[in-house]
Amino acid sequence: MAKTIIDLDSVGLVLSGGGVRGLAHIGVIKAMKENNINATTISGSSAGALVGALYANGNSIEEMLDFFKETPIFKYNFLTMAKAGFIDTDKYITLFKNYFPEDSFEALGKKLFLVATNLQKGEETYFSSGELIRPLLASAALPPVFSPVEMNGTLYADGGIMNNFPIEPVQKAANFIIGSNVSVISSLEKKELKNAVKLAARVTNLMIYASSKQKLKSCNIVIEPIALEKIGVLDKRGMQKAFEIGYEHASKKIETYLESRHHQNLPLK
């Protein structure tokens, strides 16, 4: 049931990368819809870019979930030996056109910013106009699983390499920001860091989170469910669970925020 509307000129939504955990973003959007909160500007990285594009495209919650459940992460005939990656990212273009037939940022109903990593220059690049699908694939092309995407002679890969929480364009366009971060960090026991693989994963996660931590403080509402850490970033079996965790956490955070503003008799901003 719709409740309180946040009466602001513009609401920005920032969606982090995080693989399968990114389905929690869809849960966040569902909670926003139930509270009549409508983002006017969206910025996303990797899985957050995919969810952000679907939201900006006007897809329903069910359609967003179907997109991830029906789009294969691994498919035999997508494997490649000719590119730097196990899976040829370009193979997904035809699948994506089923959801984005006009293949254009301008065809979306909301302003969308995607971030990808320019592998040759070693810098982040934002995309917000023109062709949509290739920048979208580039933003989610996590190496070495997915091959980089070539655009105008330059190779681009996962946006999370350089900027996993791309708040910057939203800060310029919105006066209220909701941040959804699914690359979460919690405390670990010493026994959980006893092999090289787990240690490397922990170090990588800490580095990604460190670059986002300060930026999260600039959000008016932060959704960051620690329970997501138990879901593997490429584990499709965790999709529904990630969605449910995101929805439950976002519903509570939004409700708490709205109640706090009401009790203080303050405008919702």
Catalytic residues: 46, 158
Q: What are the Cα distances from residue 75, in Å, to 79, 219, 239, 240?
A: 7, 38, 18, 21
Determine the Cα–Cα distance for residues 232 and 239; give it in Å rounded to an integer.
10
How far apart CA 73 and CA 137 sit, in angstroms, is: 12
Residue pointed to by tokens 């890969």? 157
**Strands 111-118 and 123-127, how do they pair?**
antiparallel
Question: Residues 140, 251, 13, 63: what is their CA dihedral angle, to the nearest 10 degrees?
Answer: 50
Q: What are the tokens at 92?
A: 């997904």
- Quick one: CA dihedral 146, 150, 156, 159, positive or negative? negative
